[in-house]
């Protein structure tokens, strides 16, 4: 099975870290969840985003998620794949050069990468998306396009695979997003 790095931060979307972390472990993969400036055993706060008919998602406090690896010790060469959950975390994580270096490694080495929701912000900040069809939360479409990508405007419960990249607009896509990502890991 694969060894997967999951990069997150405070106010990551609750379902977008909890569900993939637990599902990938249940499938038999090894998953290391890390956050800049935090160590194994530290926790991050999550936020629950919901779609309740407003012009954008609503946000509520989520759970505390305990990290199981230390960011400063993460060597991307030790991992087979990368997961980037959404929420507000990618907005500020993309300002961390070490995070961008990690993302670049996975993209440049053509390793499987799964991003969901605002996770595409990290891709757009780290690499050119030219030649890639990428889905994300619709508010991230301009960033995908400005990074050279072809924004995939798909239903909220769908995902798209383009090469070794699997992307989806939000957590309702988990079944499809995780299925497609697991196919790349097999």
How does 54-91 read in b/e, with b if 16+ C-beta sit within 10 Å?
Answer: eeebeeeebeebebebebeebebeebbbbbbbbbbbbb
Q: How far apart are alpha carbons 130 and 151 in whole angstroms?
A: 11
In the structure encoding, which two tokens stand for residue 72, read together? Answer: 């400063």
Q: How far apart are alpha carbons 129 and 57 in whole angstroms?
A: 26
In the structure encoding, which two tokens stand for residue 69, read together? Answer: 């690896």
Tell me which residues are annotated as active site.
118
């Amino acid at each position: 099975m694969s060894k997967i790095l999951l990069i997150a931060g405070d106010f990551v979307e609750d379902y977008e870290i909890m569900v993939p972390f637990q599902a990938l472990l249940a499938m038999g993969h090894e998953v290391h969840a890390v956050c800049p400036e935090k160590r194994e055993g530290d926790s991050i706060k999550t936020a629950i985003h919901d779609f309740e008919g407003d012009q954008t998602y609503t946000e509520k406090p989520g759970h505390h998620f305990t990290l199981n690896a230390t960011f400063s010790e993460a060597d991307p060469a030790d991992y087979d794949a990368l997961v980037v959950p959404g929420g507000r975390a990618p907005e500020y994580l993309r300002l961390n050069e070490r995070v961008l270096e990690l993302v670049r490694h996975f993209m440049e080495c053509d390793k499987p990468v799964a991003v969901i929701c605002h996770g595409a912000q990290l891709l757009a900040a780290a690499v050119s998306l030219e030649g890639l069809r990428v889905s994300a939360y619709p508010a991230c479409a301009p960033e995908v396009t400005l990074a050279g990508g072809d924004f995939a405007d798909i239903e909220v419960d769908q995902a798209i695979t383009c090469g070794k990249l699997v992307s989806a607009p939000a957590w309702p896509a988990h079944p499809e997003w995780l299925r497609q990502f697991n196919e790349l890991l097999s």
